Amino acid sequence: MKRLIIAAGGGGDAVAAAMLHAALYGDEEPGVILTYAWDRLLIDPVPGPRGARDFTGLRPITPTVSAVPAEARPIAPAGSTLPLLAAALPHTFALLDPGRGTVGITCQLEELISHLEPVSIDLLDVGGDILARGDEPTLKSPLADALTLAAASQVSAPVRLLIAGPGLDGELPPDELRPLLGPLVHTLTAKDVEPISSILEWHPSEATAMLAATARGVRGTCEIRDAGLPVPLTDEAPRVYEIDLGEALSRNNLALALMATTTLDEAETHSREICGFSEVDYERDKAKRLNDRSPAKLDAESVLHQLARFEVRARSRGVTHTTFRRITETLNVDGTERNALCQLLINSGLGYNDAPLWRIVASL
């Protein structure tokens, strides 16, 4: 009775997949979550996704698919949240490796489906950028989703495409997504969040954090990313919708172009041609900027003063919440100081009081 959930974009989509499994299949045995090892630079300083060669301790499932168990380790300087997820959750986290493009991912899917014979296959995307045409000015990270969409459309087994939290990734406006959504599958609740509550305390995903927060009843406007993008937290946000896979593919110009790609470099080239950029290029540029600057020292008095100034300005913009990633960007804190910053905020009594989001107040 295994269920297979494909986390379309990796990272936070893998955490959301665990939440979805609890919501839809909670009484059944743990599932298999197929996901990229593709984390934010806050966790992984190396741009782009990690492949099997970037880990030690993987457990083979099929010739091209390996599980990432709790004892697996990314090879330095790379980082990954997958071993931590495997330690915290009962599911099997299988590694989706885009190094051989869509052709390789399709092969991985076919092998895993043949091996598992799952009773269902869900392709999950938080936010909905998997429905992007490719020319939207707000689009930031279409490549991972387009690769999984292109591959899932070519396997012989039926795949159900699910969109959770329309608009929460800040890439396509909810008003643009709404006409594209199919039947409502589920509205997430606080109970559905319980299995991943401890993970939300440290995982860097912003979209999944907002999905969980809205499932717990949080409403307002959340400011995310280094650019400070405002995302509405509404009653629609915790909903999960089914989308016709074929219609999504026909709309996604990048996915259509990626159908026969055999390398990640080739996929990136198509992304630059269709979308005008590759998100891996963005990560490369940002990593270089981070390496070229000296991160701020974590001084408690200075941090709290900077945070107070940030909160006053954010409130003036109508912002009610923000994410831990946004705070680290604002304070110029790098990944090595992440835990210390988190502890400082908690000790100051200003912790995740709308967990897993930070609630903005007018002053400290």
- Calpha distance 278→264 (Å, rounded): 11
**CB distance 196 to 212 below 8 Å:** yes
User: Given a cut of 70, is residue 285 above it in pLDDT?
Assistant: yes
- 360's CB contacts (< 8 A; 6+ apart) are 223, 311, 314, 315, 319, 320, 321, 322
Q: Is the pLDDT of residue 352 over 90?
A: no
Lowest pLDDT segment from 172-181, 200-209, 331-340: 331-340
Question: Contact, 5 vs 178, CB < 8 A?
Answer: no
Helix 300-316 × helix 338-347 angle, to 10°:
80
The answer to which of 110-124, 193-207, 213-227, 296-310 has the lowest mean pLDDT is 296-310
How far is Cα 203 from Cα 12, in angstroms, rounded to an integer?
8
Mean pLDDT over residues 238-250, rounded? 98
pLDDT band at 262 (very low <50, low <70, confident <90, very high): very high
Please state at what angle helix 324-331 crosses helix 338-347, rounded to 10 degrees.
Answer: 100
- 326 has a pLDDT exceeding 60: yes
Token output for 56: 């030690």
AA identity, residue 358: W
What average pLDDT does the segment 50-57 reach? Answer: 97
Query: Is residue 154's pLDDT more than 90?
Result: yes
In this prediction, residue 364 carries a pLDDT of 39
**Is 138 in contact with 173 (CB distance < 8 Å)?**
yes
Distance CA 262, CA 258 (A): 9
pTM of the model: 0.94
Say which DSSP state 145 is in: H
Tell me: pLDDT of 346 over 80. Answer: no
Q: Which of 258, 334, 323 is nearest to 294 (CA)?
A: 334
pLDDT of residue 46 exceeding 60: yes
Q: For residue 30, how far is the Cα from the chain centroid? A: 21
Q: Is it the case that residue 120 has pLDDT exceeding 60?
A: yes
pLDDT attached to residue 340: 84
C-alpha closest to that of 40 among 347, 346, 329, 303: 329
